[in-house]
Amino acid sequence: MNKQKSTAILLMHCPDQPGIIAMVTNFINVNRGNIIYLDQHVDLEQNVFFMRIEWELQDFTIPRNKIKEYFETLYASKYQIYFRLYFNDYKPKMAIFVSKISHCIYDLLARYAMGEWNVNIPLIISNHPDLEPVAERFYIPFHLHPITKENKHEQEKAELTLLQEYEVDFIVLARYMQVITENMINKYPNRIINIHHSFLPAFVGAKPYHAAFERGVKLIGATSHYVTTDLDAGPIIEQDIARISHKDTVETLIHKGQDLEKIVLSRAVEKHIQRKILTYKNKTVVFN
Amino acid sequence: MNKQKSTAILLMHCPDQPGIIAMVTNFINVNRGNIIYLDQHVDLEQNVFFMRIEWELQDFTIPRNKIKEYFETLYASKYQIYFRLYFNDYKPKMAIFVSKISHCIYDLLARYAMGEWNVNIPLIISNHPDLEPVAERFYIPFHLHPITKENKHEQEKAELTLLQEYEVDFIVLARYMQVITENMINKYPNRIINIHHSFLPAFVGAKPYHAAFERGVKLIGATSHYVTTDLDAGPIIEQDIARISHKDTVETLIHKGQDLEKIVLSRAVEKHIQRKILTYKNKTVVFN
Amino acid sequence: MNKQKSTAILLMHCPDQPGIIAMVTNFINVNRGNIIYLDQHVDLEQNVFFMRIEWELQDFTIPRNKIKEYFETLYASKYQIYFRLYFNDYKPKMAIFVSKISHCIYDLLARYAMGEWNVNIPLIISNHPDLEPVAERFYIPFHLHPITKENKHEQEKAELTLLQEYEVDFIVLARYMQVITENMINKYPNRIINIHHSFLPAFVGAKPYHAAFERGVKLIGATSHYVTTDLDAGPIIEQDIARISHKDTVETLIHKGQDLEKIVLSRAVEKHIQRKILTYKNKTVVFN
Amino acid sequence: MNKQKSTAILLMHCPDQPGIIAMVTNFINVNRGNIIYLDQHVDLEQNVFFMRIEWELQDFTIPRNKIKEYFETLYASKYQIYFRLYFNDYKPKMAIFVSKISHCIYDLLARYAMGEWNVNIPLIISNHPDLEPVAERFYIPFHLHPITKENKHEQEKAELTLLQEYEVDFIVLARYMQVITENMINKYPNRIINIHHSFLPAFVGAKPYHAAFERGVKLIGATSHYVTTDLDAGPIIEQDIARISHKDTVETLIHKGQDLEKIVLSRAVEKHIQRKILTYKNKTVVFN
């Protein structure tokens, strides 16, 4: 958790080709970076190579503000590498969107208060006033943007201004009961994490527990995913299920589902903060 | 497993009403039946009462061939009770339908050979010759009924004749790759058990693992259910899932799914044999 | 969750005997109680019958303050029934004991703040000052009782006085890092719930994650149980596990275990609050 | 499953050092091996590097019978690399030891008959005659070696002779109810796979389900591990659990445990056959 040493994290994918691991590890080694994490994956069907590599910067001979440029020039442009570079000593800023239901936001904020994650939460945005007391308990600014059909466009614009002011890096929808519009999604591609209270792709849309009850399933699920313009159809990050039985009612499904939802959402947020997720064609690679 | 004592098993449902448990347990007690199992469930939404009750017949004063009549006259007709009565010393007869894939049938036949279940398997029916050697290994008659678009009706008729000759009580589709027609389904209502290789209602129909791979889910599932005339939409008996990751291909999903499928199917068959399943409006009550 | 109607809940066990369900349900029915829950269990080995039964008091003809006496006189004394009677409109009072680690207490208090449970939490007791800010966030009195070898007896006495003043019904040890002495345990028999961070009986005692790591297990667990005078050996209420791998370190085990611990503890607390647990000879019957 | 192309598989561990991945991948690349699998792990505590790497031999310029020697000379001796080299077109030979219980052996033989694994099973050894019919069903020689206190040494000697004759590579104890002696264990180090019917290290030794029932656990488990001279204490390969309740008896635990046991054993055997397991100081690294 508390890494004292500064590290660089490289997330990349490119067309698979012989020697790619050797090339990248060599780049780091000869410049005296000490690799502390390497995980890679080859999608043999699509012929794509994915890698996450992390190394200590202490003795690294390339200045940190030049690494991106060097890697771009020396490798990325040549080998069609798509990559992102992060530093572990930068704390990403996360905004939380909520409505009225609080189990997910409590779970997120408890972890935040415990210092479990390398993240800052500068603000909470809501379309309802109900959870302002929760925000207050954790001393986080709460911004109320009630949304109607008429003002939706305008309110999202105000929200986007806020997100820019606070320099927000990514957004977590903690049971936020509004559809995000294309405009906002495009500003935060693969950076808006949602929790859907079903085992997607089963029970897309509203009232999934009612639908699960109607169908008589024996397991309920929860799914965290990146938001895309297709409703509940973005890249899945994490899923889990709980066993139910004929004794359950819609009410007990909703109740049992809450623990699923909060854990599945928090696992996704953690992986995102740890820079362990790569997306490719509506699917995710989630490193351990 | 090896119950020496003969018992009667009553599975029933009726409109919920005060005193129904007392009434039925009293009926058994005053006639000197020793209750060894009682489980019940009230669906408060539909206002329906479900119960499974099992009692030893040793000192029961009503002759076993009269129990059905007495219960019908004294209670069922008065209280709108739908019920079925079974005796544990009758071994139900189960037919298995297969095509080419053998992991499910091996699991069923191994349990059969071990004497794990109170069941007889008088025959195996297949539309392909591939698994005849498996049937032979377990000394079970194998009937080949290759099915084409043209002969489907005729072949099913022949199969129905066979099932009647063998006095089959219920049918297990162990990865049988043919849609059963309405005619056969109606002859065996809630008595044809299928295994579908997905977490229903996700990925209905053909090639669910391909669909799961395409969608990028993080869990795969299997679902056993009673066959109805709606494809993959009958009452669900049992479901389970396995965790997968970005490292999985369609091939490894198919491979990992096989263990799920066979276990989920066998659990359903066991519950059916144990007379622990009640169906009501496309849903099941599965007692422990 | 929000039951408007007042109900009585009877938890009982007795030597198994014919007609016991009929007798109790009849007692409630003839006195015009509407049974809304009945679950029972027979331990055939020990020949003990267990039951939880709940009924609406609205039209019940026995006054609520007389039910216990009547049941005692009419049935319990005759049939050696051990029973406890609860009313759903009484909110039990729960004390939380903590030390320095906060994931469990956050989970409990979030549920409390959401009104998820029918419970009051009048106080938090700790042997360390660290979590006072957490208590403050939820406006719950925090009592600091630092414990040394010398003052342990005295401090527990002070704690017991506090518990009596607040009329505490049961205690939850939310990762409280002190062994409770016999004196306190005897005052709250089967009413002190602990969470142990292993899959008991594996890794009893201190540092179970270190022990799990050493042994190279592939799953870690958490166990909630009632505290008895045998360390980590009381009746188990709930357990769950999480999959780990060779990639995990002691630190990641501790981290992954926290979600297990909080969920497993909260499930146990919920069952206790719902009066769904009976204990018998160091084991629990936990009704659904 | 059906890899047409011949590959070499290198399993290795060594003291962790910069550039080790680059060095090994470079060795394969410059000699024109096409890497199709690479997974590695660094144990930061012990400072040990583990890797599994697999490459196609088609264009590999080092003859397959020279690879071991070259790797030894060029790298292993210099960098203290412990390694094993396998070829995917060699079918390892697996002996199965059984006693009287057949669920595990049925599961293994069904997979064998389906051609699920790249393995040969030239013989089955048993200390009881009960399962000879199972062996016959799958046309596998069955060798009966009844064991008494007196003849144990002698019988194991005869078994070892058999194993050598059949050129057995590894042994699977499919609920074999005899302790293997040190002599045989030393002949097959990390090559004897056992299934223990508990969640180790809980309930070591005989009758674990009875012990689990006594303790009142809410989950039962199964553990596959390599056999060492410490009873039930060898390196764990795989574990899994199933949920139970107060309704379960010792008999139903045994029954429910059988599905666990067979699946957990077969998963371990599969990983072993796929050359995905490295052992180090009584722990395993199991690659995906």
Read off the pLDDT of residues C167-196 as tens digits, 9 standing for 90 and up.
Answer: 999 999 999 999 999 999 999 999 999 999
Please give the residue range of the domain that contains residue D109.
93-286
Tell me, what's the pLDDT at B45? 85
Set of chain A residues whose Cβ sits within 8 Å of the Cβ of B252: none
Residue C50: give its domain's CATH number: 3.30.70.260
Q: Please name the member of C29, C38, C243 whose beta carbon is closest to the beta carbon of B40.
A: C38
Give the pLDDT confidence of D245-274 residue by residue, as tens digits: 999 999 999 999 999 999 999 999 999 999
Mark which of B87, B102, B124 sits at the end of a domain: B87
The least confident of A31-40, A53-62, C74-83, C196-205 is: A31-40
Give the distance from residue D9's alpha carbon to the nearest chain B alpha carbon, in angstroms.
18
Give the C-alpha separation, D172 to D188, whole Å. 11
Q: Is A1 among the domain residues? A: no
More reliable by pLDDT, A20 or B236:
B236
Q: Please name the member of D202, D245, D284 whose beta carbon is closest to the beta carbon of C202.
A: D202
Tell me, what's the pLDDT at A127? 97
Contact yes or no for A180/A153 (Cβ under 8 A): no
Closest-CA residue of chain A to D25 = A22
Set of chain C residues whose Cβ sits within 8 Å of the Cβ of B34: 18
User: Is the pLDDT reported for residue A52 higher than 60?
Assistant: yes
Give the C-alpha separation, B266 to B263, whole Å. 5
Tell me, what's the pLDDT at B21? 85
Give the pLDDT confidence of B229-240 residue by residue, as tens digits: 999 999 999 999
Q: Is D2 among the domain residues? A: no
More reliable by pLDDT, C2 or D104:
D104
User: Is the pLDDT reported for residue A1 higher than 70?
Assistant: no
Q: Are D186 and D54 found together in one domain?
A: no
Give the pLDDT confidence of B200-255 residue by residue, as tens digits: 999 998 999 999 999 999 999 999 999 999 999 999 999 999 999 999 999 999 99
> What stretch of H or E contains A17?
none
Give the distance from residue B63's alpha carbon to the nearest chain D alpha carbon, in angstroms.
31
Q: What is the number of CB-based contacts under 8 A between chain B and chain C? A: 37
Q: Is C1 among the domain residues? A: no
Mean pLDDT of the C48-65 span: 96
Which residues, 6+ apart, have CB-to-CB distance to C199 below 8 Å?
C219, C220, C221, C222, C223, C239, C241, D199, D202, D219, D221
> What stretch of H or E contains D71?
helix D67-71
Residue D162: give its domain's CATH number: 3.40.50.170
Give the pLDDT confidence of D182-214 residue by residue, as tens digits: 999 999 999 999 999 999 999 998 999 999 999
Q: Are C147 and C246 found together in one domain?
A: yes
Set of chain D residues whose Cβ sits within 8 Å of the Cβ of C236: 215-218
Determine which one of C107, C169, C232, C248 is catalytic: C232
More reliable by pLDDT, A39 or C63:
C63
User: Is the pLDDT reported for residue A176 higher than 60?
Assistant: yes
pLDDT category, B182, cuts 50, 70, 90?
very high
| Cross-chain Cβ contact C29/B44 below 8 Å | no
Tell me, what's the pLDDT at A149? 92
More reliable by pLDDT, C102 or D20:
C102
Q: Are A112 and A198 found together in one domain?
A: yes
Q: Are A49 and A185 found together in one domain?
A: no
Please calculate the CA angle B282-B285-B286 and round it to the nearest 5 degrees: 125
Set of chain D residues whose Cβ sits within 8 Å of the Cβ of B110: 102-103, 106-107, 110
Give the distance from residue B187's alpha carbon to the nearest chain D alpha carbon, in angstroms.
33
Q: Are D38 and D179 found together in one domain?
A: no
Q: Are A58 and A186 found together in one domain?
A: no
Q: How far apart are the first and last CA of chain C?
A: 15
More reliable by pLDDT, B4 or D190:
D190
Angle between helices C250-273 and C103-113 (to 10 degrees): 30
Set of chain B residues whose Cβ sits within 8 Å of the Cβ of C19: 25-26, 29
Tell me, what's the pLDDT at D44? 81
Give the pLDDT confidence of A81-127 residue by residue, as tens digits: 999 999 999 999 999 999 999 999 999 999 999 999 999 999 999 99
Residue B14 backbone phi and psi in degrees, to 5: -160, 165
| Cross-chain Cβ contact B42/C29 below 8 Å | no
User: Is the pLDDT reported for residue A206 higher than 60?
Assistant: yes
Q: What is the number of CB-based contacts under 8 A between chain C and chain D? A: 79
Mark which of A66, A87, A108 sits at the end of a domain: A87
Q: Are strands D219-226 and D236-243 parallel, antiparallel or unpaired?
A: antiparallel
The one-letter amino acid at A125: I
pLDDT category, D129, cuts 50, 70, 90?
very high
Q: What is the number of CB-based contacts under 8 A between chain A and chain D? A: 34
Give the position of tokens 């057949």: D102
Mark which of A55, A70, A87 sits at the end of a domain: A87
| Cross-chain Cβ contact A36/D44 below 8 Å | yes
pLDDT category, A2, cuts 50, 70, 90?
very low
Give the distance from residue D284's alpha carbon to the nearest chain B alpha carbon, in angstroms.
20
Q: Is B2 among the domain residues? A: no
Give the distance from residue D137's alpha carbon to the nearest chain C alpha carbon, in angstroms.
35
Rg (CA), chain B: 21
User: Is the pLDDT reported for residue C214 higher than 60?
Assistant: yes
Q: Are B136 and B200 found together in one domain?
A: yes
| Cross-chain Cβ contact C114/A103 below 8 Å | yes
| Cross-chain Cβ contact D263/B266 below 8 Å | no
Chain mean pLDDT for chain B: 95
Q: Are C127 and C243 found together in one domain?
A: yes
User: Is the pLDDT reported for residue B26 higher than 50?
Assistant: yes
User: Is the pLDDT reported for residue B60 higher than 60?
Assistant: yes
Q: Is D1 among the domain residues? A: no
Tell me, what's the pLDDT at D257? 97
Q: Are A45 and A135 found together in one domain?
A: no
Give the C-alpha separation, B216 to D233, whole Å. 38
Q: Is C2 among the domain residues? A: no
Domain count, chain D: 2
Mean pLDDT of the A161-170 span: 98
The one-letter amino acid at C70: Y
Q: Please name the member of C103, C245, C255 whose beta carbon is closest to the beta carbon of A110.
A: C103
Three-class SS of chain C: CCCCCCEEEEEEEEECCCCHHHHHHHHHHHCCCEEEEEEEEEECCCCEEEEEEEEECCCCCCCCCCHHHHHHHHHHHHHCCEEEEEECCCCCEEEEEECCCCHHHHHHHHHHHCCCCCCEEEEEEECCCCCHHHHHHCCCCEEECCCCCCCHHHHHHHHHHHHHHCCCCEEEECCCCCCCCHHHHHHCCCCEEEEECCCCCCCCCCCHHHHHHHHCCCEEEEEEEECCCCCCCCCEEEEEEEECCCCCCHHHHHHHHHHHHHHHHHHHHHHHHCCCEEEECCEEEECC
Q: Are C60 and C126 found together in one domain?
A: no
| Cross-chain Cβ contact B18/C36 below 8 Å | no
Q: Is C199 among the domain residues? A: yes
Tell me, what's the pLDDT at C1? 41
Set of chain A residues whose Cβ sits within 8 Å of the Cβ of B218: 236-239, 286
| Cross-chain Cβ contact B114/D106 below 8 Å | yes
Give the distance from residue D25's alpha carbon to the nearest chain A alpha carbon, in angstroms.
6
pLDDT category, A258, cuts 50, 70, 90?
very high
pLDDT category, D1, cuts 50, 70, 90?
very low
Contacting partners of chain A (3+ CB pairs under 8 A):
B, C, D
Give the pLDDT confidence of C227-244 residue by residue, as tens digits: 999 999 999 999 999 999
Tell me, what's the pLDDT at C19? 78
Tell me, what's the pLDDT at A21? 85
pLDDT category, B2, cuts 50, 70, 90?
very low
Tell me, what's the pLDDT at C2? 45
Q: Are A44 and A99 found together in one domain?
A: no
Please, how many CA atoms are within 13 Å of residue C147, restricted to the half-sphere of its CB? 21
Q: Which of C134, C122, C53 is nearest to C91 (CA)?
A: C122
Q: Is B112 among the domain residues? A: yes
Q: Are C102 and C79 found together in one domain?
A: no
pLDDT category, D178, cuts 50, 70, 90?
very high
Alpha helices in chain A (DSSP H): 20-30, 64-71, 77-79, 103-113, 132-137, 152-165, 182-187, 208-215, 250-273
Set of chain B residues whose Cβ sits within 8 Å of the Cβ of D110: 102-103, 106-107, 110
